[in-house]
Structure formats: C-alpha cells, structure tokens
Amino acid sequence: MNRLLFVILFALCSPLISAPPNFLLIFADDHGYGDVSAYHASDVRTPNIDRIGQEGMLFTAMRANCTVCSPSRAALLTGRYADRVGVPGVIRTQPENSWGYFKPGEPTIADELKKIGYHTGIIGKWHLGLESPNTPHERGFDHFHGFLGDMMDSYTTHLRHGNNYMRLNAEVIDPKGHATDLFTDWAGDYLRERAKSKDKPFFLYLAYNAPHFPIEPPDEWLAKVKARAPQLDEKRAMNVAFVEHLDDRIGKVLAVLKEVGLEENTVVVFSADNGGSVPHAQNNDPWRGGKQDHYDGGLRVPFMMRWPAQIKPGNRSDFQGLNFDLFPTFLELAGATPSPELDAVSLVPILKGGTITTPRDLYFVRREGGKIYGGKNYEALIRGDWKLMQNDPYSPLELYNLKNDPQEKTNVATKAPKIFNELSAALSQHIQRGGSTPWQRP
C-alpha cells in the first residue's frame, strides 16, 4: 500500500486522524513476565505499564527473539532472526568475549521509517556496536542520547569496566543521576521537541537498561517497598523497588506524550528483550526458568500496545508471536510495504480484530563463550504446540508439548520420535541459514 492510499484509508476510518501514527517503543531490559502486574497478582505494582495494556491491547503469549540482550535487539530492529544479521550472541565491550557483529547494510526499522519521512530517535541502551559502522546514527537514527555498551556497572556512575560509553549523538557526555531518571528526562525532551514538528511523524525507541542487574533502586523506592511488604527478603524487595521506579518513570513519559498533544495518534508499545534473571530475584511466573534459558521463563515477555486513535481499550490477544513482529507492523501502519525477505509478520490483522493463521516456526539461538558454552550455539524451535530446545550446547535436545505441559516439566523427546525428528530437521535448516552470515568483525 503506498503512502497516499494509506492516508486516504486512514482518514476514512478515523475522520479526526488523517496522518500516519507516531511510534513510541518502550523496551525494558531483563523484565520478567511475572514482574508486570497486568498478567497476574504480584508483589510488584506496575500501574503505568499495566495502563498501556488496559487502554489498548494486552498480548499474553509473546516471546522475545532471544534469551539475552544483543540478539534480541538485533532481531527487533531488523525483522530478521538474529543470526541472519550477524548477532547470534551478546556484543560486549571486550572483543575476546564478544559473540556478534551487526551486519552492515542490513536495513533497520529506523532506516525504513526515515525513507517515508519519519524522524527517528533512540534513548537509552544501544548494545549493537561501539564504533563505525554500527553506531545508532549509521543504523538509521537521527538522534541518539544514551549509552553504546552492554550494561552499566552502576546506574549512577554509568561506566562499564571503567569506560564511559554515554553519548549525545557522537559526543561523549558525563551526565549525573540515576540512569532510569536520565532516560526518562531525555525522552520527555525528545517528545516536546517533536511536538513542534507535528507534520513530521516520529519513531522513538526508548530502551531502558532497567531492571537489568546491578539491581539499584533509589533509596526512597526501596524504603517504600519495605514499609509496604516487610515480609520480602532483601533481594526481592530491591527488585520490586527497581521495577516500580521504572514503572513510575514510564508514567512520566506517558504524561509528557499527553501534555504535548501527541497521545491520540501515537502507538505506544511496552515489551522487554528477554525474561528476568532468576539469581537476581526477578519473577517470570508462571513460566519455567529465566534469562539465558530457552524455557519460557527466558523467552516469554510482557507485550502490550496502545493507540487511542484506533485500538479500543480492553483488548487481549493470545497470538504467539515474537518481538520483531513490530518491524512489519510499524511499517504497515506507517503506509509502507514491508520487505518479503523479513522473518517477522505484521500484527496489523490482530489490531483490526482479526487473526493470523499462516503457520510459522519460532526460532531461537544464542552463542556464548566461557567454560559452560565454549563459543558454541544452543537453539530452540517452536512449531504449534511443540518446543524442541537446549539450554547449553552439550546437553541432549529436549521436547515439550506446550499445550499439555505449559510449565515444561516433562521432556517427551523419547516418547514422540516423529515430532522430534521433524522439528530437528527444521531446526537444522535454520542453523544452516544463520551460519552463512559472518558474526565476527571482518
């Protein structure tokens, strides 16, 4: 559909809105499914995150593209499986421990939206390269205010291994304050600036590094949680406070969106790059496992979308998709035609009240070093109700029927040999395709 036709159809559907939407993608880091109170009763309170789903559509069965950071982000920004764009593992600040290199020239969602007139911005965590040609400006973003690296050793010093990766575009900066507060303020500044150019839509990728460890809530937030729930142990209380601080700041960003008159025609999405870290007392209930696992605790993530102009409040969807499905979704809503080369599928039929019935395998891969992994991959594949998976490269493949056993308690690899062989063959094809893409810096 060309842009003019989109605008005409959009206007017919909603007389008050005649322009393509803005996009605000809020992406949390290591945010467990169970640490969002929209999904079930929890000791954590996330009213602002919950509100995105309540005022739009809450997705209950979405997964991240990987169980760790960089591959998930590479897939999100390209609509391709991560190993096919050179990022099967985490890109780190120390080259000897880095397991990916973002494929130069691969179009990002920012590239594609810029082509049709969008202003593109990223605030927060990049984690797809430290230098040319893989800085945000070179991968489609007009504006970058955040940090290039994998994580911060502290949310208040913002350093990683003693190095400063904080940037305003290409300029090295040394801001003061808690990173979650900084990214919130910078997002508000960006929205206020974009409100001055209402004839030019925007895409803002707001990538918080919270609640990734180190778990560092501000003191006053931890005090509030301990006063309310003294029964919580220290690790859990700190994580609850950390998430609630993040939720409050997300509420501030949403308030700015309303304040500047952009709320009605802005698509707001909240999700995360992977499940929570179990050793850090994060909650992935009701799913087994957590970050680094191919059990659903590592893959299932919160996912919700609000667009007051078009999505009625209170909708729910149990579609089993992946985060990178946002790539063709945003392009279609913006009036562009997604490339047929994408691995992702558009969620637009669901947003319109329909369904997506075309079958698709869901593929997951992670490459990692160290004694446990040895620089090797481990993978997972979901086909319908079945999941074939490993959690390290040396263990036998496990098979689960997710319909009968959603908590993945009973490995049926030896009891369903036909399914096991079919999924093993399909998984091998995915591995071969990904293996044709270089993942080390040339």
| Same domain (yes/no): 298, 164 | yes
Place of tokens 């890109």: 91
| pLDDT value of position 18 | 58
**Which token pair is 326?**
């946002």
Looking at the 3D structure of the chain, how many domains does it have? 2
What mean pLDDT comes out for the span 113-136? 97
More confident residue, 14 or 26: 26
Q: Is the residue at 406 inside a domain?
A: yes
Last residue of a domain, one of 322, 351, 380: 351
Q: Please report, for the domain that includes residue 410, its CATH number.
A: 3.30.1120.10
| pLDDT value of position 65 | 98
Predicted confidence (pLDDT) at residue 10 exceeds the cutoff of 50 = no
Distance CA 205, CA 388 (A): 32
| Same domain (yes/no): 178, 325 | yes
pLDDT tens for 191-202 read: 999 999 878 999
What is the bridge-based pairing of β-strands 386-389 and 398-401? antiparallel
| pLDDT value of position 126 | 98
Last residue of a domain, one of 286, 321, 351: 351
Ranges of H-type helices in 195-285: 219-228, 234-259
Q: Which backbone phi and psi does 6 adopt, to 5 degrees?
A: -60, -45
| Same domain (yes/no): 24, 87 | yes
Average of per-residue pLDDT values in the chain: 95
| pLDDT value of position 199 | 83
Distance CA 163, CA 140 (A): 25
Confidence of residue 5 (pLDDT cuts 50, 70, 90): very low
| pLDDT value of position 6 | 40
Which has the closest alpha carbon to 262: 11, 21, 9, 58?
21
| Same domain (yes/no): 247, 309 | yes
Q: Is the residue at 341 inside a domain?
A: yes
Query: What is the domain extent for residue 423?
Result: 362-435
